[in-house]
Structure 1
Amino acid sequence: MHFDGSKMLAGLGVGVVLTSPTGDIVQYVLQILCTDSNNAAEYEALLHGLRMAVSMGIQRLEVRGDSNLAISQISGDFDAKDPKMAAYRNAVLKMSARFEGLEFHHIARESNQAADVLARIGAKRDPVPPNIFLERLFKPSVVWQGGDSNDSPVPNTNTDNEHTDIIGDSTTEVTPSAHIIMAVIAPWTEPFLAYLNRKELPEDQNEARRIVRRSKACKVHEGELYKKSTTGVLQRCISEEEGRQLLAEIHAGLGGHHAAARALVSKAFRTGFYWPTARADTQDLVQRCVGCQLFANQSHMPPTALQTIPITWPFAVRANLGIKLDYASVYHPQTNGQVERANGLIMSGIKPRLVRSLKESDKHWVVELDSVLWGLRTTPNRTTGYTPFFMVYGAEVVLPCDIIHDSPRVRMYEEKEAELDLQDSLDALGEERDVAKARSTFYQQQAQRYQSREVRAKTYNVGELILRLP
């Protein structure tokens, strides 16, 4: 087993690689969603790898890592004077009793590249490659003397009670510890709050300059951090885990129509939330969604060569079968295209929601139709910049995710002010519709110019010779 821990600006990450004597490899990435030191991340990597080995029934294991501190403390070469490190060492020794044979070896970093790459992926919160298990740890695995009991749970060396969130299915179960973390301030906002409230900056000069620069777009309200968007709307800063739950609710929850990554993150920001890994989390969610990948627009290579059909063959077949062909023109081509586009959007949203439901009932699409239509009507249109709901009622709708995650609109709602704002919005609705019409016209002109770039107009003069095909 190779293990490694990493600490970066985005957070802590752990990488574990288990290799069998026959060459089979199992790889794990662990994202630690709480603030801690790099040495703690190394110990978490070691503990996580031992738990995985126990769950797989491994009895003899050779452990290799580049953490000199962890290996030396476990081997007895170094004393664990720090209470936290002593607690981690005791947890590892207790876990070691489950193996018939267990050896620890310190290796150079160059020999631990595989685990180091996985640890960096977890620390940066990058998308995890296929065939690699991803788990999340919301609290430290040990408790130590002098530690805060609210932030440090009781040591847990039982694999059956592991407080991790395993990503391997389309539905992710949220553990109780996740709610505890979300109730507290998001870890990534702590440096910004420290600077805005107490003028405290990190010791690293580059990090300090980054905090000062980005704090200009932030504001503290009732102890929480808010970010000012480009439109001036305040967005409540939430943790990455709460952001992923918000995306899952918008994507496939009540009123979700499995929108693309760009529309999904735009809808999350318009709802009034912000977190730094929103775009990466959105792409990861769409890529892991079974329905989106199953019904995505993909170009497929033909299995055989093209078999051409003679031009006269269809007419000959129709004549032999007694089929009469009538030609009819579309009464209003623009409207016909809009209907086809609307039907296409509904189908692209309803198919992913029926991946599992079709196994139960072939008429389940009727139940999902309302959610898909609701999702389309509350998603900003690329042409106008507004949602269809806003174009009709003059105000944005309050989504279920707004109530579940306590968005700024829900938190600051007052009935009298909301009634006055609604009246003002209705008075200005005509102007907003004119703006939407102007945007739509501009978008159509851009599309027309793009389409006309490949057009090569050809004119003929009287007397020129042309080739007429039979």
Structure 2
Amino acid sequence: MKGQVMTDFVLKYSRKPIQRKEPSEKEWWTLRVDGASRSSGSEVGLLLQSPTGEHLEQAIRLGFPASNNEIEYEVIQSGLDLALAVSVSKLRVYSDSQLVVRHVQKEYEAKDERMARYLAKVRDTLQQFFEWTVEKIKRVENGRADALAGIAASLPIKEAILLPIHVQVNPSVTEDSTCNTIEASQTDSQEWMEDIMRYLRTGTLPEEPKQAHKIRVQAARFTLIGGHLYKWSFTGPYLRCLNHSEALYVLAELHGGVCGNHSGGRSLAHRAHSQGYYWPTMKKDASTYVKKCDKCQRHVPIPHAPLETLKPISGP
């Protein structure tokens, strides 16, 4: 009797066709971006819309010179970073830049070296989404993103209360260094983050056994939050990990910025740590930065004592 019941059960459900779940339009987010280079500077605006209709808006002012095509790439990269921060899996990107869209769609070839680096970074970021599309739209259909870029151009940062205007200090891609020593130091300062982030995301380790063991041990003290690397802290909140250029910017602001007091190297490194930042060479970089500060060198107390003990000379 039990065998007959089991046979009927198998026959009943084996004939039932497998129902495949079709992709739902409700799972797709949309990202509209626009940017332009004006006399007041370079500004970008982006609008991220959820499947249920909520909007995330950002107006960004670029703190570095950039061409129109570079600005279009910067705004797309900023929008992709924002989408990853809110855990978007399916994304449709709309831009009115025909060149950038055709680059991403592999219809045009990026012949310029800098454009090729921008394109490679955008494509690498897109691979982190489960599904994505990039489409060209008319400028009149992208009015809201264009308005956000206009706000960033016309409204002073101090008056941006209702809509915060973000300032991007450095471009998304870096220039190739002509000095080998500087290029090596910057690469080393960035690789410590990249290896750990790659291991935390995908579990990938370097091929060298000693380096793999080192990364595995170090990763236990780090975590990823919103796509950024943070270090566990024993006495406070998480510490935001910085690369070489970000570390120099933080040191400049803490040392000679609005609240800077031109403190010494150890004090400067301690301030950066207490503000919630971390990178492996904090003390060394802070000491080096203080020694190269022009104002500190000009106003430092000058010792008037001789280098050697004076020896009296008896007269004839």
Q: TM-score, length-normalised on structure 1? A: 0.35
Q: TM-score, length-normalised on structure 2? A: 0.49
Of structures 1 and 2, the larger Rg is shown by 1
* Larger RCO: 1 or 2 (CA < 8 Å, sep 6+): 2
Q: Which has the higher strand share?
A: 2
